[in-house]
Amino acid sequence: MPKKTFAIAAAANAHLIVQLKANQKSLCQEVETGCIDALHSSVFRTVDAQKRNRHETRTIAVFDASPIITCPEWRTYVAAIICIERCVLAFQPTTGLWKSSRETSYYLSNRPIDAEQAADAVRKHWHIENRSHHVRDVTMGEDASRIRTNPGIFARLRSFAANILRFNQQSSVRQDRYAAALGGYAALAKLRFS
């Protein structure tokens, strides 16, 4: 996550929320330790009860970045720190027990933001990630593609195909793609070559 991204967002007057990754070691450590002692400006909690054998509780807390971030380069860009703690209970069918896990993620925002707005923005990002990128990467095989000449054209074709499948969706995109492939064979079988 380069500072250049924040500079471009500031120049375009755009609101930017970026997940803080472990490769920014000093900034990540400063944010983690600073959020422990700091008082949050707003908190929001969401609960997804028993969806797909999971019970997930998300607690979103927003902190003012100015007392936490000491590096002058980052202080000019970051206005708020968003801390999202996910507590998940996942049902294990083999044992009949619930397994618990906990994860904390930090996000940086270039503008002050409310916890409810931050929760909505992060959820919408993951909705796009799961709905579009995962389908293209896994179902359409984009990551496994060996196309090196004009890969953007084939990426657009995959997106085009995924949109058609979604528009006519019967079950999942993967199953619909398979059914369309079988339907193509059936159509070819009906053709008579004389």
- Identify the band that residue 158 occupies on the pLDDT scale cut at 50, 70 and 90: confident
Within a domain: 128: no
Considering the domain boundaries, does residue 110 fall inside one?
yes
Q: What is the pLDDT of residues 97-132, one digit of tens each?
A: 999 999 999 999 999 999 999 999 988 877 666 666
* Distance separating alpha carbons of residues 129 and 158, to the nearest angstrom: 15
Is 145 within a domain? no
pLDDT at position 169 over 80: no
Of these ranges, 45-59, 79-93, 159-173, the one predicted with the greatest mean pLDDT is: 79-93
Enter the pTM of the model. Answer: 0.71
Q: How many domains does the chain have?
A: 1
**Which pLDDT value is given to residue 194?**
45
Mean pLDDT of the chain: 84
Residue 36 lies in a domain: yes
Higher pLDDT, 130 or 137: 137
Tell me whether residue 130 is in a domain: no
Query: Residue 37: which domain range?
Result: 3-114
62 falls within a domain: yes
Which SS3 state, helix, strand or coil, does residue 77 take? Answer: coil
Residue listed under structure tokens 């908190």: 43
User: Does residue 57 fall inside a structural domain?
Assistant: yes
Please report, to the nearest 10 degrees, the dihedral formed by the alpha carbons of residues 153, 156, 158, 163 taken in order: -160
List Cα–Cα distances, 155 to 21, 23, 126, 144, in angstroms: 27, 29, 20, 12
Taking only Cα atoms into account, the Rg of the chain, rounded to an integer number of angstroms, comes to: 22
